[in-house]
Chains A and B, each alone.
Chain A
Amino acid sequence: MSEQIREQVSAFLDGELPNTETELLLKRLTRDGELRESFGRYALIGEALRGAGSHILTRGFAAGVNLAIDGEPAQVPGHTHQPRASRWWRPLAGVTVAAGVATVAIVALQQRAISPGLRVASAPTAQNAGIAPSGVAAQNASVQGGGGSREALSYTVPVSSADVPAALSPARLTNYVFAHSKYSLGLGQRGVLADLLIEDDEPQPAPVQGVAQPPLTPDVRVAP
C-alpha cells in the first residue's frame, strides 16, 4: 500500500477525507483485497489506540464522507485535507512499540479461532438417561434446475476461522448460521447476514490450541 493510500485510509478513519477522495477510496477498496485487509487492520489498531473502551472519539470522524441525509449534504465547512504527522498509523511503519500494539490487536482476534475439544470438562455434563426421539418427518429442500451433491446444497461458508477442523465442516456450520439468522435479534442478525455475504476463500489464521477464556463460573440459573 502506497503512502498516499495510507494517508487516505487514515484520513478516512479520522473523518478528514474529502468527499471526492472518499469515493475514490471506496472504489479502491472494492477492487483491492490487500487494501481491504490493511484497512481492517488499521481500523482495529485505530480503535485500540483511541481506546475504544474509554469512548474517546475523534471529533469529526469521517467528516468528509459523502453523506446526504434528507437531502442535506454533510457539513464540512472550509475543509481541506491536510495529513497529520501524528496519525495513529504512522508509527506502525517502523516503530517497535506501535507494532506491538498491532500485534496485540491482531492476536486478540486470532485467539478467537479455536480448535475443537477444549474445556469439555468445565461445562455441565449432560445426563445419560433418555432415548433418542423418533418420528421426525423428513423434509428435503427441492432442487430446481440441476442435481447437485449434498455438499452443493449446503449454504456458503462464512466461517471466519480456517482452522475449523475437519470435524467441524464449514458447510455444515454455515447451514447452522444461516438457520440461526432467521431468529437472531437486532444487530446480531445484521452481523450474521453480513458474514454470510463475505467471501470465504481468503487465508485464515492458524489454529490456537490453548485459548485463555474467562472461567466458566456462571451464576447459573437452573431451569425449573
Chain B
Amino acid sequence: MTRSQQSRAYWLVPCALVGALLTTLPRDARGADDPREWLEKMNKALATRNYDGTFFHLSGGRVETMRIVHRVRAGRVTERLQSLDGSGREFVRANGELTCYLPDQHTVLVEQRQDKGPFLGSLPQFDASVSDFYRIEALPATHILGRPARVIAVNPKDQFRFGYRLWLDEKTAMPLKTQLCDSRGQVIEQIFFARLDMPENIPDSDLAPTVRTEGMRWVRQGPSPDSTSAALAAYRASQLPPGFRLTIQGAQTLGGASAPASHLVYSDGVATVSVFVEEQPATAPGAAAAAGAAAAAGAASAAGAAAAPGAVAAPDAQPEPPLRGLARVGSGYAFSTVVQGHQVTAVGEVPAQTVEFIAHSVKIYSGGEPPRQ
C-alpha cells in the first residue's frame, strides 16, 4: 500500500470524489449544464476554498448540529469538525495528523492521516465502469438558503449501493445540502448548512480545538504498516457485488487491539467497504458459551488456531467472544462473522446486504497468492 493510496481527501473535500465520475467523459463533450460539470466544480470548490459553516446532520431520526472550518493555505489544509451539541467532540486535522478530542471519554486520540499534495491530486481515478452502476442527472434547479442552486442526483442502479442528491450553490458550487439515499430514493442521511461563510482568511484561532485537555488521556495510534506479510495478503472476498473491486490492502491496528487486522478496502468508485480480518485468539470457555450455539463452530476453530507468533497480547485482556451479526453504524452497516477461525467484519456506507455479502464471501488462501481482483 503506497502513501498515495493512503492519502485520501477528507471530510467535505472527499465529497468531491463523486465528481470524479465525470472523468469518464471528455470535457468538451459536456455542456455548462452537464451535471458532471457541476460535480467537477464542486470538486474544485471543496478542495480550494476556505469555508466555515454550521450544518445539521440528520440520520436515524436524530439531528446534530456541527461546525466545520476548512482552510487551505499554501496548499496545506487544516480542518476542524466540531459537535456543537451533545458530546462536545472535535476532530482536528493538521500537519498530517487527525486529532480526535473526546471530552466525554476523557480521551484524545491522535492518528497519522497524511494528505500529500493538493487534494485534487489525490482524487482517485475512476474508470468508465462506474457509470454502469450510477446514473448522474440534473434535477430542476431550485433555491436553497436563499440562493439559486443546482440539484444533482447520483442514483444507484441497483440495491448494493446508496446514492446522493446534492444541492450546489449556483455561484460557488459548494454543496449546501446533501442527501444519502437508498436505491428507492428514500433519504437515509441528510446534511444541510444553516450557515456557510467563505472568508478570504481564516485565523488560526478558528482552527484550534475548544476542548480543554487537562487531565485527559492521550492515545497516539502508531502508524499502520504499509506492507504486510504474505499471510496478511492471503485474505480476499471471493465474490463481490457488481462494480466493487479491491482498491487497498494493508493492515490497520485497531484501538485496543493487540495485533493489527488485515484491512481490505473494496470500492465501486463511490461507495467503499472495509473488510477487517483478524485471527481469533483462543477463546475462553465462558466467552465461547456466551457467544451461543451458533458461534460454537467458529469458536472451536478459533481455539484450534495458534496465536500469531510475535503477537503481543494485552496481559490483562480477556479474549473477546467472536462477533456475529449485523448492526447499523451511522449511515451504513457493519456485519461480522467468523470464517475459518478468523473474525471477519465488513463496514461501509452501503446497504446491509452489501456488507453481509462481502463478509460472507471472504476466504483465507493459505497456499500461494489469492486471486487477483
Contacts and interface: CB of A to CB of B under 8 A. Distances in A.
A62 B54 CA distance: 14
Contact of B15 (A30, A187, A199): A187
A173 B327 contact: yes
Interface string A160-185: 11011111110111111111101111
A140 B352 contact: no
Interface string B278-314: 0100000000001110110000000001101111101
Contacts, number: 508
Nearest to B342: A132
B267 interface: yes
A156 B260 contact: no
A210 interface: no
A142 B351 CA distance: 35
A193 B91 CA distance: 8
A130 B294 contact: no
A11 interface: no
A198 interface: yes
Contacts of B159: 214
A171 B220 CA distance: 17
A132 B279 contact: yes
Nearest to B266: A183
B33 interface: no
Contacts of B294: 117
Contact of A67 (B146, B265, B352, B372): B146
B208 to A, nearest CB: 17
A192 B325 contact: no
Contact of A60 (B146, B267, B291): B146
A134 B231 contact: yes
A136 B65 contact: no
B89 A197 contact: yes
Contact of A183 (B89, B265, B309): B265
Majority DSSP secondary structure for residues of A touching B:
loop
Interface centre among A140, A180, A199, A219, by most chain B C-beta atoms within 10 angstroms, is: A180
Given A70-B198, A130-B340, A197 B64 contact: yes
- The size class of the interface chain A forms with chain B is 35 or more
Contacts of B292: 167
Interface string A200-211: 101000000001
A132 B81 CA distance: 40
B310 A136 contact: yes
Contacts of A112: 60, 328, 333, 352
Contacts of A114: 325-328, 352
Interface in A52-78: 52-55, 57, 59-70, 72, 74-76
A146 interface: yes
B317 interface: yes
B271 A188 contact: yes
A222 B239 contact: yes
Contacts of B259: 136-139
A141 B325 contact: no
Interface in A3-56: 12, 15, 22, 26, 29-31, 33, 36-37, 39-41, 43-44, 47, 52-55
B221 A141 contact: yes
A67 B147 contact: yes
8 contacts: A130-B234, A135-B231, A168-B336, A176-B274, A186-B17, A191-B57, A192-B330, A200-B87
Given A131-B366, A135-B308, 17 more contacts: A61-B143, A69-B174, A112-B328, A113-B327, A117-B294, A133-B232, A136-B260, A141-B219, A141-B221, A141-B222, A142-B220, A152-B256, A160-B328, A167-B290, A194-B64, A196-B330, A222-B239
Interface of A: 12, 15, 22, 26, 29-31, 33, 36-37, 39-41, 43-44, 47, 52-55, 57, 59-70, 72, 74-76, 106, 108-109, 112-120, 123-146, 148-156, 158-161, 163-169, 171-180, 182-200, 202, 211, 213-214, 216, 218-224
Across the A-B interface, the 7 shortest Cβ-Cβ residue pairs? A116-B325, A133-B231, A195-B330, A53-B185, A123-B360, A74-B146, A199-B86
